[in-house]
Structures are given as C-alpha cells and as structure tokens.
Chains A and B, each alone.
Chain A
Amino acid sequence: SQKIEQNSEALNIQEGKTATLTCNYTNYSPAYLQWYRQDPGRGPVFLLLIRENEKEKRKERLKVTFDTTLKQSLFHITASQPADSATYLCAGYSSASKIIFGSGTRLSIRP
C-alpha cells in the first residue's frame, strides 16, 4: 500500500543544534512533498513545499530536500530554539485524492 513514514519516536536535541527529520515514501510517486508544523490542540500549519524536480528548498532556518532515488525527504531546522518544539508532519501529493500524511515526528528542543 502507499505510505508516508516518519520516525514515530520523539526527537530531543539541544538548543542551537540542527534538527533533522526524515520522511520516507513507498509504493507512491508524489509530485511534491509538503512539511507542516502542528502544535498541541491546533491544526497543521504549512512550512515548505518541494517538487519532485527540485533537490532542495530553503526558508529562513528551514531546509528541505527531496531524493527521488532514495524516496526520501529530509527536513532540517538550523540553530534550533525551544519555540521550534512541535510535531512536524510530512505529506505527499500526487493528486487531489492522493494526499497522504505521515503520522508526524515530535521534536523537543531543550534549552
């Protein structure tokens, strides 16, 4: 079956370090991947989108990569801050009916 998989274990890192989150997809060819941030009790908020013909995208302290050979996207937060603590969701899009979300990775940044 088509899947988007994210590391279900929480990621705990020290403030100031770079956080790297992984998103893998199987039996699926997304036209693009999106990353969202979700805080407890709230809806997801869009962060970045990367298309299948793009290798890397940046926005301020955020960077996302898309490797169609490995079927993987990496999401990086540089110079991490406690305010970056949240759950981060990866989503693949191949058509309006084929939007698949991963279950998310919880990130905790300790001061």
Chain B
Amino acid sequence: NAGVTQTPKFRVLKTGQSMTLLCAQDMNHEYMYWYRQDPGMGLRLIHYSVGEGTTAKGEVPDGYNVSRLKKQNFLLGLESAAPSQTSVYFCASSPWTAGLAETQYFGPGTRLLVL
C-alpha cells in the first residue's frame, strides 16, 4: 500500500496564479483532511471531508476550496495565490471507528512558495 500520497512535492507560484494540490489514499478511509504547517505554529486544519461528496471548513479555510468527488481523492485548490499562502501543506486520512475519526495517516507534504 502506498498510504497517502501528495502531488506535487514542491511548487512555486506567482501571486494571483491558481493551482490544485492532489491527495490520494489507498486505505479506504472515510475521513480526509488538508492542513498547512508554518514555522513555529502547529498544523492548522484548512478543510476536511467525512466522506465522498462532502466537504467542510476547518480553522483556516479562506482562500482555499476543496473537492472530494471520489473516496480516495481529496483536492485542494488555490484560486488566486497570495504570499500568505506560502507554507507546507499536508494531507491526511483516517478511518471512522465507533463514531470517531481516529489515527490520522499523513502524506509527505507539498511545499508551496508564492512570490
């Protein structure tokens, strides 16, 4: 099993450009998440999904959109990139057990630099 994979690994954007980050998991997990990690700060939840076709906002959703058309994929879009979105983005998935999403399995991350 590949676990959680993220594409691309690194990207440089100019302010105003758009891009989509792809996350894929092969563990048949119900829950998927997108986080950003900035120096000195913890992982912050951007958006999450509790199942195919559903998405919801996390702590820092502004400037991002997501889609989960297939259970195994969770896409994060930046419509008009800003320098404040320079960060490392992590995708994670987790199984749903007894009404709770538990252990999260993280991807390797995508480093995004917005100039």
Contacts and interface: CB of A to CB of B under 8 A. Distances in A.
A81 interface: no
B15 to A, nearest CB: 26
Interface in B8-29: none
A64 interface: no
B105 A46 contact: yes
Nearest to B45: A99
B99 to A, nearest CB: 10
A72 to B, nearest CB: 17
Main secondary structure of the interface of A (DSSP, over half): strand
A42 B108 contact: yes
A44 interface: yes
Contact of A34 (B33, B48, B103, B109): B103
A96 B56 contact: yes
A102 B104 contact: no
B42 A43 contact: no
A93 interface: yes
Q: Size band of the A side of the interface?
A: 20 to 34
B40 A43 contact: no
Contact of B102 (A8, A49, A89): A49
A41 B35 CA distance: 15
A45 B100 contact: no
Contacts of A32: 100, 102
B48 A49 contact: no
Contacts of A36: 104, 106
Contact of A43 (B44, B57, B107): B107
B56 A97 contact: yes
Interface of A: 4, 8, 31-32, 34, 36, 41-46, 49, 89, 91, 93, 96-97, 99-104
